[in-house]
């Protein structure tokens, strides 16, 4: 086996848009930095199950529609452990109330024009969120 291959942490996150605004969460571990709901796949967990578990834990959703993958990004964290590969999924849930976990300080609904007012943990989050708004406009409206 080739030891030159990288090993990744996989994180699946959700882009939820309601009334032309997307949901963002303030990270309790890094106040002032924002995230999209979702998280990493646990050892021996399947992708779909991990994604559903993360949305249930972080925002209280039991049900949602998953439309497509908007994009992904790979980056190294400051401690230079295994890089993270984050996959952004466009989801829909028009009615359920957001119920935050203790991992987050607050949530906000922001428009694409508001993105530059926020700092995100994921380096390319703003770019991916913009792609999501564009995808919504072109494919689902």
Rama region for 30: left / alpha / beta (φ>0; ψ in -120 to 50; rest) = beta
Contacts (Cβ under 8 Å, ≥6 apart) of 137: none
Average pLDDT over residues 131-138: 84
| CB-CB neighbours of 115 under 10 Å | 18
Average pLDDT over residues 92-111: 95
Going by CATH, does the domain composed of 9-139 fall within 3.90.79.10? Answer: yes
pLDDT tens per residue, range 74-86: 878 776 677 888 8
Average pLDDT over residues 88-99: 93
Domain ranges of the chain: 9-139
pTM, two decimals, is 0.88
């Amino acid at each position: 086996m080739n030891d030159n291959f990288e090993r990744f942490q996989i994180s699946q996150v959700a882009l939820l848009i309601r009334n032309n605004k997307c949901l963002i969460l303030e990270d309790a571990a890094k106040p002032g930095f924002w995230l999209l709901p979702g998280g990493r796949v646990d050892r021996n967990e399947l992708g779909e199950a991990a994604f559903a578990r993360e949305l249930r834990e972080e925002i209280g959703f039991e049900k949602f529609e998953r439309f497509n993958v908007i994009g992904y990004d790979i980056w190294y964290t400051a401690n230079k452990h295994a890089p993270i590969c984050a996959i952004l999924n466009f989801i829909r849930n028009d009615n359920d109330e957001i119920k935050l976990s203790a991992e987050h300080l607050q949530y906000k609904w922001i428009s694409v024009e508001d993105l530059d007012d926020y700092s995100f943990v994921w380096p390319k989050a703003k770019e991916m969120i913009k792609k999501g708004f564009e995808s919504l406009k072109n494919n689902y409206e």
